[in-house]
Amino acid sequence: MDNKDGKKRAHAIALFSGGLDSALAILLTLRQNIEVTALTFMTHFGCDLGDRSSCGSNPYPVAKQYGFNVKLMHLGQKFIDIVENPEFGRGKNMNVCTDCRILMLQEAKNLMELINADFIITGEVLGQRPMSQVRGKMNLIEKRSGLRGKLLRPLSAKLLPPTEAELKHLVDREQLEGISGRSRKRQMELAHEFGLEDYPSPASGCLLTDKGYSNRLRDLLAHTDHLTFNDLNLLRLGRHFRLDDETKVIVGRNEQENKQILSYKKPHHYYIEAKDIGSPITLVLGNTSLENLKKAAMITARYTSAKNQPKVTLLAYNKVNQKELIVPPAKDEDLHYIIIK
């Protein structure tokens, strides 16, 4: 069914995480002589190109191997806004899968209209994810993203109503799949058929599905009016302790985290460390009264190499002040009540 003049039959925009399902959706489309421009989204909640989850796998090797273009897009403040106030609720943790999918598809729709592409494809599989890939939610997402008839899911297409691209014979429906459920058997068969060997595990990669991160984010939302990029970057680091409604303490867990924590501190922030012994860097956010600095110093001392000593000497700094604090290390049973985990 290829055009005799060698021109592409159509142009599709693909949502491409770098994972197996989205890669297969693209390959099923490419083999019908359709041009594909893939969109890979990034957020402040994971999905970085450096991790090996299906959410954050580097999209470029597959794109180079099979000959399609990739555009990176950071969802930035738009995504933070829906994390703060999701219209369609959250999953088990702080994940906002339905709102997230709608936002991504709206951004893809904008690109489709900008470059005059014909339709959008995704790697969604009917029944694979309970939050966003059941029939009712898939219909809702298609409607709310403004893509009625324009959204093709190649892996489950035969189980769904024909799209405009199929009805206009831009796409041959018979060459698409009818996969449903959580088994990946058919996907692995297709991967073998296409020669796709290096693909990541199906783990989410999104920090909003992680219990510990979600608990820290939930605490932050309860104690701040609006999320900042700095707040979100710090949520990834260290051990977090809530001293009071205004004050949080973040304690680095290793040298790399210590350096990262220092890179995010502001001039007015106090940070604490013990001198001349193995010590974490601790950042104090909020009310930096002497009482709170002492509490933060006690927490810090618990994670130094002198944690079994009766007293530890620490220094608290900000841009203009330095305070010496001599305190006993905090006891684990006391930290149990203030740690956010």
Q: Quick: pLDDT tens for 197-236.
A: 888 766 657 899 999 999 999 999 999 998 999 999 999 9
The mean-pLDDT minimum among 46-50, 238-242, 265-269 falls in 46-50
Alpha helices by DSSP H, listed for the chain, are 20-30, 60-66, 76-84, 97-115, 135-144, 164-167, 185-194, 211-222, 229-235, 255-264, 290-302, 332-335
15 plus 161 within the same structural domain = yes
Structure token pair of residue 51: 């991790």
Residues 241 and 339 sit within 8 Å (Cβ to Cβ): yes
Q: What is the pLDDT of residue 262?
A: 96
301 plus 188 within the same structural domain = no
243 plus 125 within the same structural domain = no
188 plus 328 within the same structural domain = no
Check residues 170 and 129 and name the one with the higher pLDDT: 170
Of all residues in the chain, what percent carry a pLDDT higher than 90? 84
Confidence check: pLDDT of 332 > 60: yes
Residues 14 and 21 sit within 8 Å (Cβ to Cβ): no
180 plus 89 within the same structural domain = yes
146 plus 280 within the same structural domain = no
Total number of domains constituting the chain: 2
Residue 6 lies in a domain: no
- 79 falls in which pLDDT band (50, 70, 90)? very high
Q: What is the pLDDT of residue 46?
A: 76
Residues 261 and 252 sit within 8 Å (Cβ to Cβ): yes
Confidence check: pLDDT of 47 > 80: no
Check residues 46 and 157 and name the one with the higher pLDDT: 157
Confidence check: pLDDT of 244 > 60: yes
Residue 52 lies in a domain: yes
185 plus 243 within the same structural domain = no
Q: 121-164: per-residue pLDDT in tens?
A: 999 999 887 667 789 999 999 999 999 999 999 999 999 999 99
Check residues 2 and 290 and name the one with the higher pLDDT: 290
Q: What is the pLDDT of residue 199?
A: 80
Residue 266 lies in a domain: yes
Confidence check: pLDDT of 171 > 90: yes
The mean-pLDDT minimum among 64-68, 101-105, 199-203, 255-259 falls in 199-203
Alpha helices by DSSP H, listed for 200-285, are 211-222, 229-235, 255-264
Residue 209 lies in a domain: no
Confidence check: pLDDT of 105 > 50: yes
For residue 248, the cross-strand partners are: 242, 285
DSSP 165-183: HHHTTSS-GGGS---BSS-
Amino acid at 179: I
53 plus 106 within the same structural domain = yes
| Mean pLDDT (whole number) for 246-262 | 97
CA separation (Å) from 107 to 95, 146, 171? Answer: 19, 11, 23
Residue 211 lies in a domain: no
| Mean pLDDT (whole number) for 174-187 | 95
The mean-pLDDT minimum among 71-80, 197-206, 278-287, 302-311 falls in 197-206
Structure token pair of residue 305: 């190499």
184 plus 254 within the same structural domain = no
Residue 74's CATH number: 3.40.50.620
- 52 falls in which pLDDT band (50, 70, 90)? very low
Residue 257 lies in a domain: yes
For residue 327, the cross-strand partners are: 312
Q: What is the SS3 assignment for 294?
A: helix
24 plus 141 within the same structural domain = yes
- 88 falls in which pLDDT band (50, 70, 90)? very high
CA separation (Å) from 223 to 76, 178, 227, 231, 334? Answer: 21, 47, 10, 12, 22
Q: What is the pLDDT of residue 208?
A: 94
CA separation (Å) from 250 to 117, 195, 230, 272? Answer: 47, 46, 13, 10
Confidence check: pLDDT of 295 > 50: yes
37 plus 174 within the same structural domain = yes
| Mean pLDDT (whole number) for 274-292 | 96
Of the three residues 194, 218, 246, the one that is the final residue of a domain is 194
Residue 49 lies in a domain: yes
Which residues span the domain enclosing 18? Answer: 11-194
| Mean pLDDT (whole number) for 174-181 | 96
- Pairing mode, strands 282-285 and 248-251: antiparallel
Q: What is the pLDDT of residue 1?
A: 39
Q: What is the pLDDT of residue 164?
A: 98
115 plus 33 within the same structural domain = yes
pTM here? 0.89
The mean predicted confidence, pLDDT, of the chain is 93
Residue 223 lies in a domain: no
Q: What is the pLDDT of residue 48?
A: 59
